[in-house]
């Protein structure tokens, strides 16, 4: 049984349809702790010690956010800059996060197909998420592929509910199930791993 | 008739307009300015006003009447009740001891015991008008000396009622108050009946205030004619005063009571702002009349007698006051201000002496000398306070400048000076200190100065608007002056002076509200901090959060609002001068508020902007952007 921390960053959650579906009651899953950064730190004044303590208490870290202009909302970047300290999270003596699992969960307006070379967005989602991938590597964490909800504006309520279900199943699987992180890394999206019966 | 009225008005107003600014420039305070103006236009020097000075004084006493109405208004029964022990303790001690000492002294000089007692009571009074005006000007109302002064003065003002009731009992049997103009109801009644009349009158003021004035004002307020409300306010004051005079009582006390009764009504602040200007002008007139009434001829004829009387009175009063201050545990500085501040004989003494003379308890001649001495003690007060501030306190009390240690000489020159270290200034100072920036502090509350010095702050003691103190605090080399004094007028004054004298310093000013801020903007001050804005908005943000708005959205809305408010405040400031004929401060405020609300309705920024929100566009072209709802 692993404990999972969702670092949820949404500057306008009250208007979000997709993220509401994903996040609603997610806390009720055993071992899952949703940490709403914009609600905790509306003035961007992050309590670093508290964040470190939270990280220490969990084995799986999820950066969950809406994918605005190809990146995370400002507060999550702020969080990474101030919390992932040299000497604590990385550097020769920074081993606090070593061996923990990290991945990105995001919602994007564009479809999965649009994220490809010669398509509308030119690059794949994995490429856009390199900073997260390398930040996890730097902190000696195990980086898993992202969980993505694409085309949020064209999703029907039914499709959205299906996404919410799979997100839930994913979190349960990650906290309770037996799996080899290295083989999971082989998938492009965690969505794929989930539907791969594996 | 009309022409004499106009010429009189011309002389008095000119005297005020010429001498008060002169006195202020010399740092003497407005009261001394009025008094000197009065002396100069009085019979002895220029002779513009002659014997009619006394009549003017009667008229101007109405300023005192209004002042007491305002004091009453500010004195909610609840506040008064909380202060009762303090007021009674200090008041009884001061009045009792002063009366007894004066009584003994006058007995020794050879007056009858009745006369000695009556005069002793009159002399124990101090001048609320002079003390309050002076303390307010010096920004000392909130210090310990200010509080104690207020308590003693309050006790004195209230005790005029029983004194007026008791004095007839002292009258030599058969002597009655001679008719002084209008016949009063109380004349001709035996002493005990007069006392009862007084009690009835006092109670009826309270009842009338509650059951007639308040409903009457409600009725007037509903008509929504501003000037009618002002007229009603004046009517209440004048009617109360007139009725009191008709019964033969002090009008000042009647209006004081009326003020206390109305203090709990919803019209308190409106009444205050309506009566305030009248009070100011009439009180000035009263001071001029006191100056003009000083009979220099009498002084020259009896120099020793008058000097002895003035010296004796001030000595006795000061002695008692100092002892009272000691008992109230005032520190030396505060006690000196309290002692010398209340060392004069007050305006009620004029009323009491006139009354005593009417009852033939003392002769008209002695009464003239007494009144002359009273006026002189009033003039001495501002001078004594000035001496205290410039000569006595710097030497014996809290030092103006902090003790210099040789090695400290350079660190002495901080680049920030904070004037006023109350709640507001001290927060700034603490914040700066927490971030490694020491500031030099200027404050005029000696108790606070002593405390701060003990805590290791560099503190200069004194009136921040004095250029010499600013200079010794290092204004020549400082970069920033923070004007954080409680009184907006003083901040304005300070900002203006420093801008001229020390152009090297950036002046950053605390403003109480938009009106003060506008005045500062007019002076060309850029850095203005309205004290309520940030707190109120932060409050509003928390309300939004409690109502269920997301914290970040509420915070952003607050930030936007502050920005918008600052911009609209500056915009309104430009248009302010377009609109003429704004006379009453409060009315202008309401007009501005209205304009502000109107603009808000049109242009208020709110959380319904399009940041992080491309839904509308996205629904048509889902692949154009990556933003998501």
Judged by CB atoms closer than 8 Å, whether chains meet at A68 and B612 is answered as yes
Nearest CA distance, B541 vs chain A (angstrom): 11
Is A43's Cβ below 8 Å from some Cβ in B? yes
- Residues 6 or more apart in contact with residue B33 via CB below 8 angstroms: B16, B19, B20, B21, B22, B23, B24
Q: Which of A15, A42, A43 sits opposite B613 (nearest CB)?
A: A15
Q: Which of A11, A16, A110 sits opposite B623 (nearest CB)?
A: A110
Chain A residues whose beta carbon lies within 8 Å of the beta carbon of residue B625: 109-110
Judged by CB atoms closer than 8 Å, whether chains meet at A14 and B627 is answered as no
CA atoms within 13 A on the CB side of A90: 15
Is A12's Cβ below 8 Å from some Cβ in B? yes
**Which value, to the nearest 10 degrees, does the dihedral of the CA atoms of residues B589, B594, B597, B602 take?**
-130
Chain A residues whose beta carbon lies within 8 Å of the beta carbon of residue B557: none
Judged by CB atoms closer than 8 Å, whether chains meet at B626 and A39 is answered as no
Judged by CB atoms closer than 8 Å, whether chains meet at B623 and A108 is answered as no
Domains and CATH numbers, chain A: 4-195 (3.40.50.360)
Is A124's Cβ below 8 Å from some Cβ in B? no
Chain B residues whose beta carbon lies within 8 Å of the beta carbon of residue A14: 549-550, 553
Distance CA B245, CA B11 (A): 29
**Spatial CA neighbour of B208 closest among B175, B249, B254:** B254
Distance CA A56, CA A69 (A): 31
Q: Which of A16, A111, A120 sits opposite B629 (nearest CB)?
A: A16
Chain A residues whose beta carbon lies within 8 Å of the beta carbon of residue B619: 153
Same fold yes or no, B2-393 and B406-531 = no
Judged by CB atoms closer than 8 Å, whether chains meet at B628 and A38 is answered as no
For CA atoms B619, B623, B627, B629, the dihedral sign is positive
Q: Which of B550, B556, B623 sits opposite A120 (nearest CB)?
A: B623
Chain B residues whose beta carbon lies within 8 Å of the beta carbon of residue A108: 626, 628
What pLDDT, on a 0 to 100 scale, did the predictor assign at position B438?
A: 86
Alpha carbon separation from B55 to A158, B45, B182, B284, B286 (Å, rounded): 94, 19, 15, 15, 11
Judged by CB atoms closer than 8 Å, whether chains meet at A11 and B619 is answered as no
Judged by CB atoms closer than 8 Å, whether chains meet at B626 and A69 is answered as yes
pLDDT exceeds cutoff 50 at A156: yes
User: What is the DSSP track for B12-76?
Assistant: HHHHHHHHHHHHHHTT--HHHHHHHHHHHHSTTTT-SS-TTHHHHHHHHHHHHHHHHHHHHHH--
Nearest CA distance, A71 vs chain B (angstrom): 10
Judged by CB atoms closer than 8 Å, whether chains meet at B612 and A121 is answered as no
Q: Which of B550, B553, B626 sits opposite A110 (nearest CB)?
A: B626
Mean pLDDT by 10 residues, chain B (629 residues): 71 87 78 85 78 63 78 76 85 92 89 88 87 83 86 85 77 49 56 75 83 85 79 86 78 80 80 81 82 78 86 92 90 88 84 79 81 84 85 76 50 80 90 88 85 83 81 87 90 89 91 86 89 91 93 89 83 66 51 70 58 49 43
Burial label, B224 (beta-carbon count in 10 A; 0-12, 13-18, 19+): exposed
What pLDDT, on a 0 to 100 scale, did the predictor assign at position A89?
A: 95
Nearest CA distance, A66 vs chain B (angstrom): 6
Q: Are B122 and B352 in contact (CB under 8 A)?
A: yes
Question: Which top CATH class is B2-393?
Answer: mainly alpha
Judged by CB atoms closer than 8 Å, whether chains meet at B628 and A70 is answered as no
Chain A residues whose beta carbon lies within 8 Å of the beta carbon of residue B628: 16, 18, 66-68, 107-109, 152-153
Judged by CB atoms closer than 8 Å, whether chains meet at B555 and A43 is answered as yes
Chain B residues whose beta carbon lies within 8 Å of the beta carbon of residue A18: 628-629
Judged by CB atoms closer than 8 Å, whether chains meet at B619 and A108 is answered as no
Chain B residues whose beta carbon lies within 8 Å of the beta carbon of residue A159: none
Judged by CB atoms closer than 8 Å, whether chains meet at B628 and A66 is answered as yes
Question: Quick one: tokens of B293?
Answer: 């009434």
pLDDT tens sequence across A34-85: 999 999 999 999 999 999 999 999 999 999 999 999 999 999 999 999 999 9
Is A30's Cβ below 8 Å from some Cβ in B? no
Residues of B with CB under 8 A from a CB of A: 549-556, 611-615, 618-619, 622-629
Nearest CA distance, B555 vs chain A (angstrom): 6
pLDDT exceeds cutoff 90 at A132: yes
Pick A96 or B162 by higher pLDDT: A96
Nearest CA distance, A128 vs chain B (angstrom): 12
Nearest CA distance, A82 vs chain B (angstrom): 19
User: What is the DSSP track for B408-475?
Assistant: GGTTT--SEEEE--SHHHHHHHHHHHHTT--EEEEES-HHHHHHHHHTT-EEEES-TT-HHHHHHTTT
Nearest CA distance, B510 vs chain A (angstrom): 25
Q: Which of A67, A108, A153 sits opposite B615 (nearest CB)?
A: A153
Judged by CB atoms closer than 8 Å, whether chains meet at A68 and B549 is answered as no
Judged by CB atoms closer than 8 Å, whether chains meet at A18 and B628 is answered as yes
What pLDDT, on a 0 to 100 scale, did the predictor assign at position B187?
A: 59
Nearest CA distance, B514 vs chain A (angstrom): 27
Nearest CA distance, B615 vs chain A (angstrom): 7
Question: Quick one: tokens of B65?
Answer: 């009447």
Residue with tokens 């994007």: A108
Chain A residues whose beta carbon lies within 8 Å of the beta carbon of residue B613: 12, 15
What pLDDT, on a 0 to 100 scale, did the predictor assign at position B202?
A: 79
Judged by CB atoms closer than 8 Å, whether chains meet at B628 and A68 is answered as yes
Chain B residues whose beta carbon lies within 8 Å of the beta carbon of residue A39: 550-552
Nearest CA distance, B625 vs chain A (angstrom): 7
Mutate to test the interface with A, among B552, B612, B621 (most CBs of A within 10 A): B552
Secondary structure of chain A: what % helix, strand, coil (to 5)? 40, 15, 45
* This prediction's pTM: 0.61
CATH classification code of B406-531? 3.40.50.720
Chain A residue closest in CA terms to B545: A39
What residue segments make up the domains of chain B, in order of their start? 2-393, 406-531
Q: Which long-range contacts (CB under 8 A, 24 or more apart) does B221-225 make?
A: B221/B267, B221/B270
Alpha carbon separation from B585 to A22, A112, B578 (Å, rounded): 57, 65, 16
Judged by CB atoms closer than 8 Å, whether chains meet at B618 and A13 is answered as no
Output DSSP code: residue A71.
B
Give the A:B interface size as CB pairs under 8 Å: 83
Question: Quick one: tokens of B149?
Answer: 């002064």
Question: Quick one: tokens of B568?
Answer: 């609209």
Distance CA A8, CA A11 (A): 10
């Amino acid at each position: 049984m692993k404990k999972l921390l969702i670092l949820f960053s949404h500057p306008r959650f009250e208007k979000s349809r997709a993220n509401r579906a994903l996040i609603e009651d997610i806390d009720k899953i055993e071992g899952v702790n949703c940490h709403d950064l914009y609600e905790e730190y509306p003035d961007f004044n992050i309590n670093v010690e508290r964040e470190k303590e939270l990280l220490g208490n969990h084995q799986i870290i999820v950066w969950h956010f809406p994918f605005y202009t190809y990146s995370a909302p400002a507060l999550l970047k702020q969080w990474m800059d101030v919390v992932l300290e040299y000497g604590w999270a990385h550097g020769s003596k920074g081993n606090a996060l070593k061996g923990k699992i990290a991945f990105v969960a995001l919602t994007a307006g564009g479809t999965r197909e649009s994220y490809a070379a010669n398509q509308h967005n030119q690059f794949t989602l994995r490429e856009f998420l390199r900073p997260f991938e390398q930040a996890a590597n730097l902190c000696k964490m195990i980086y898993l592929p992202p969980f993505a909800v694409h085309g949020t504006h064209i999703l029907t309520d039914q499709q959205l509910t299906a996404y919410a279900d799979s997100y839930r199943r994913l979190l349960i699987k990650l906290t309770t199930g037996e799996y080899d992180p290295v083989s999971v890394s082989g998938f492009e999206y965690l969505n794929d791993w989930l539907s791969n019966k594996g | 008739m009309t022409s004499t009225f106009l010429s009189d008005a011309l002389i008095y107003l000119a005297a005020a307009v010429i001498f008060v600014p002169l006195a202020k420039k010399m740092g003497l305070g407005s009261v001394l300015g009025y008094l000197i103006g009065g002396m100069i236009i009085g019979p002895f020097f220029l002779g513009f006003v002659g014997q009619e000075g006394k009549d003017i004084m009667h008229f101007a006493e109405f300023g005192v009447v209004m002042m007491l109405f305002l004091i009453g208004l500010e004195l909610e029964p609840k506040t008064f009740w909380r202060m009762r022990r303090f007021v009674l303790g200090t008041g009884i001690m001061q009045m009792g001891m002063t009366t007894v000492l004066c009584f003994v002294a006058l007995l020794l000089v050879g007056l009858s015991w009745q006369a000695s007692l009556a005069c002793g009571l009159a002399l124990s009074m101090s001048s609320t008008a002079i003390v309050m005006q002076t303390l307010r000007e010096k920004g000392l109302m909130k210090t310990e000396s200010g509080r104690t002064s207020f308590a003693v003065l309050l006790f004195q003002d209230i005790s005029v009622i029983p004194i007026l009731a008791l004095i007839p009992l002292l009258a030599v049997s058969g002597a009655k108050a001679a008719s002084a103009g209008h016949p009063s109801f109380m004349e001709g009644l035996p002493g005990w009946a007069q006392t009862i009349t007084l009690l009835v009158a006092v109670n009826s003021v309270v009842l009338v205030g509650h059951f007639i004035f308040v409903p009457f004002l409600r009725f007037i307020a509903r008509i929504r004619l501003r000037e009618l409300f002002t007229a009603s306010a004046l009517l209440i004051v004048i009617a109360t005063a007139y009725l009191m005079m008709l019964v033969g009582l002090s009008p000042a006390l009647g209006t004081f009571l009326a003020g206390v009764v109305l203090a709990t009504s919803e019209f308190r602040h409106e009444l205050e702002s309506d009566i305030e200007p009248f009070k100011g002008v009439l009180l000035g007139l009263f001071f001029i009349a006191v100056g003009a009434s000083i009979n220099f001829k009498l002084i020259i004829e009896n120099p020793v007698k008058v000097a002895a009387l003035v010296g004796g009175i001030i000595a006795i009063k000061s002695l008692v006051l100092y002892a009272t201050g000691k008992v109230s545990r005032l520190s030396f500085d505060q006690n000196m201000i309290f002692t010398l501040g209340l060392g004069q004989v007050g305006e009620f003494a004029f009323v009491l002496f006139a009354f005593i003379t009417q009852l033939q308890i003392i002769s008209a001649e002695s009464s003239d000398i007494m009144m002359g001495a009273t006026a002189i003690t009033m003039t001495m007060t501002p001078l004594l306070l000035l001496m205290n501030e410039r000569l006595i306190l710097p030497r014996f009390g809290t030092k103006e400048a902090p003790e210099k240690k040789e090695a400290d000489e350079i660190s002495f020159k901080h680049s920030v000076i904070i004037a006023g270290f109350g709640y507001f200034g001290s927060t700034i100072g603490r914040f700066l200190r927490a971030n490694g920036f020491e500031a030099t502090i200027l404050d005029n509350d000696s108790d606070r100065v002593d405390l701060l010095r003990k805590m290791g702050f560099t503190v200069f003691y004194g009136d921040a608007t004095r250029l010499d103190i600013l200079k010794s605090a290092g204004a020549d080399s400082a970069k920033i002056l923070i004007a954080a004094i409680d009184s907006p007028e003083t901040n304005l004054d300070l900002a203006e002076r420093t801008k001229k004298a020390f152009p090297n310093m950036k002046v950053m000013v605390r403003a109480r509200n938009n009106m003060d801020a506008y005045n500062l903007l007019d002076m060309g001050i850029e850095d203005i901090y309205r004290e309520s804005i940030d707190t109120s908005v932060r409050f509003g943000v928390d309300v939004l959060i409690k109502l269920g708005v997301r914290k970040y959205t509420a915070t952003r809305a607050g930030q936007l609002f502050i920005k918008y408010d600052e911009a609209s405040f500056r915009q309104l400031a430009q248009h302010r001068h377009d609109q003429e004929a704004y006379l009453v401060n409060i009315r202008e405020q309401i007009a501005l508020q209205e304009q502000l609300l109107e603009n808000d309705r049109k242009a208020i920024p709110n959380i319904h902007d399009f940041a992080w929100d491309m839904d509308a566009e996205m629904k048509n072209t889902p692949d154009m952007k990556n933003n998501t709802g």
